[in-house]
Amino acid sequence: MSMLEIKNLHASVNNHEILRGIDLTVNAGEVHSIMGPNGSGKSTLAQVLARRETYEIAQGEVLLNGKDLLAMKPEEAAGEGLFVAFQYPVEVPGISNAYFLRAALNAIRKYRGQEELDAMDFLPLLKEKMRLLDMDERFLNRPVNEGFSGGEKKRNEIVQMAVLEPRLAILDETDSGLDIDALKIVANGVNSLRSPDRAMVVVTHYQRLLNHIVPDYVHVLVDGRIAKSGGPELALELEEKGYAWAEPEAAISK
């Protein structure tokens, strides 16, 4: 059974169709990269999978470990093992990172019928994951993302991913706004989480992230459809030739 199976997915917002028939299969242990120009629907895909309700689903089917993802609430999808590292993580003033993450982890554990972790068990776990992303311990008690720099927010997303240990992780432009050092730290963090029973979908604009997180498959999203798929070499080819090179095929298939 595949980790994620997307069949002919159409999604729109305010009657404007953004995803126009996506097909994608991701198996456990694989890392897929979705690339594409601005406005091609990359972030929409991430948001739809995360079950953001702003999008209307006109057609299609999405299975997460064989279960109907489109029938799930966002928190149920999280319980089923879906994690999305957002492009613009929001701030939650007054709630510390540590408190928030323990609440999230326990909500997910509760969903799975596992015992909740108390603070004594949780703190060492969190500290270990923070070291992985080279984050100072003072971030434990800082309110979630409040006053964080762009890079700190992105690193914090990966810390969350490391703690929540999802089965399927979607990284939405995690590289945007990162300098090269931060990019390496984030990529190392992500690589350390690669495992045979976990799949990842890395959404990005630029090839440079894929130098550090080498995907098994690359897909080019153009105008709401996957216009090209291939191995890691496709990303290099794109970098060289630009997205326009991938576009005609999409136009033909309209």
Partner 1 sequence: MSSTKTIQDFTSQEYKWGFVTAVDEDRIPKGLNEDVIRLISAKKEEPEFMLEWRLKAYRHWAAQEKAQAEPRWANVKFGPINYQDIVYYSAPKKKPTVKSLEEIDPEILRTYEKLGIPLEEQKRLSGVAVDAVFDSVSVATTFKEKLAEKGVIFCSFSEAVRNHPELVKKYLGSVVPYTDNFFASLNSAVFSDGSFVYVPKGVRCPMELSTYFRINASETGQFERTLIIADEGAYVSYLEGCTAPIRDENQLHAAVVELVALDNAQIKYSTVQNWYPGDKEGRGGIYNFVTKRGKCLGVNSKISWTQVETGSAITWKYPSCILMGDNSIGEFYSVAVTNNYQQADTGTKMIHMGKNTRSTVVSKGISAGHGQNTYRGLVKIQKGATGARNYTQCDSLLIGDKCGAHTFPYIEVKNSTARMEHEASTSKIGEDQIFYLRQRGLSAEEAVSMIINGFCKQVFRELPMEFAVEAQKLLGISLEGSVG
Q: What are the residues binding partner 1 (CB under 8 A)? A: 50-54, 73-75, 77-79, 82-84, 86, 89-100, 102-105, 107-108, 111, 119, 122-123, 140-141, 143, 160, 164
Q: How far is the CB of 170 from partner 1 (least distance, A)?
A: 10
Q: How far is the CB of 129 from partner 1 (least distance, A)?
A: 14
At 100, give phi and psi (nearest 5°).
-60, -50
Helix (H) or strand (E) holding 33: strand 31-35
Residue 8 or residue 141: which is nearer to partner 1 going by CB?
141
Nearest CB to partner 1, comparing residues 51 and 228: 51
Cβ proximity to partner 1: between 129 and 225 the closer is: 129
Provide the edge-to-edge strand list for the sheet that holds 168-172: 82-85, 168-172, 199-204, 31-35, 217-222, 225-230
Nearer to partner 1 by C-beta: 16 or 138? 138
What 3-state DSSP class applies to 104?
helix
Q: At closest approach, how far in Å is the CB of 45 from partner 1?
A: 15
Cα–Cα dist 106/98, whole Å: 12
Q: What is the Cα–Cα distance from 217 to 195, expressed in whole angstroms?
A: 16
Considering the complex, what minimum distance in angstroms separates the CB of residue 163 from partner 1?
Answer: 10
Q: In the complex, what is the shortest distance from the CB of residue 76 to partner 1, in angstroms, rounded to a whole number?
A: 9
Which residue number, 77 or 213, has a Cβ lying nearer to partner 1?
Answer: 77
Chain centroid to CA 86: how far?
A: 7
Q: Measure Cα distances from 138 to 12, 127, 190 in Å.
A: 41, 10, 22
